[in-house]
Amino acid sequence: MSEIASNNQKSLNDILIGTWITTSGTADSTARIYKFYESGIMDSYIGSLKDEPLTGSYELDNDKIYMSYFERSNPKENDKTPFTVVSYDENEIIVTAMGKTITWKRYE
């Protein structure tokens, strides 16, 4: 696993594009699947790609990933969920959010 400070790796922006599944750490133990596109759009699924996704946008700010969903029933101003990236490589991203460590695995 490469640390963020390493200079000899693809950028987080390049690696993030694609589909990821949470393998541990979610509050309700249900897998989340995130699909990130180069355009800054993302889809979020709970449990399965068969269901309709929550669609939104994401932004990278150094080691933080911010996600904002378009279709919330009660949208709030600046409704973004920050994830802090602890480490990443081509097949695994480890993030922390709200005191929990969550592992994302490449899902293609």
Region 55-62: mean pLDDT is 91
Domain that holds residue 55: 2-106
Query: Number of structural domains, the chain?
Result: 1
CATH number for the domain including 67? 2.40.128.370
Residue 27 in contact with residue 100, Cβ under 8 Å? Answer: yes
Q: Does residue 54 have a pLDDT over 50?
A: yes
Q: Does residue 15 have a pLDDT over 90?
A: yes
Q: Does residue 63 have a pLDDT over 50?
A: yes
Q: What is the chain's percent helix, strand, coil content, to nearest 5?
A: 5, 50, 45
Q: Which two tokens stand for residue 86?
A: 């602890």
pLDDT-derived band at 16 (thresholds 50, 70, 90) equals: very high
Q: Does residue 42 have a pLDDT over 50?
A: yes
Q: Which two tokens stand for residue 57?
A: 């946008």
Q: Does residue 74 have a pLDDT over 70?
A: no
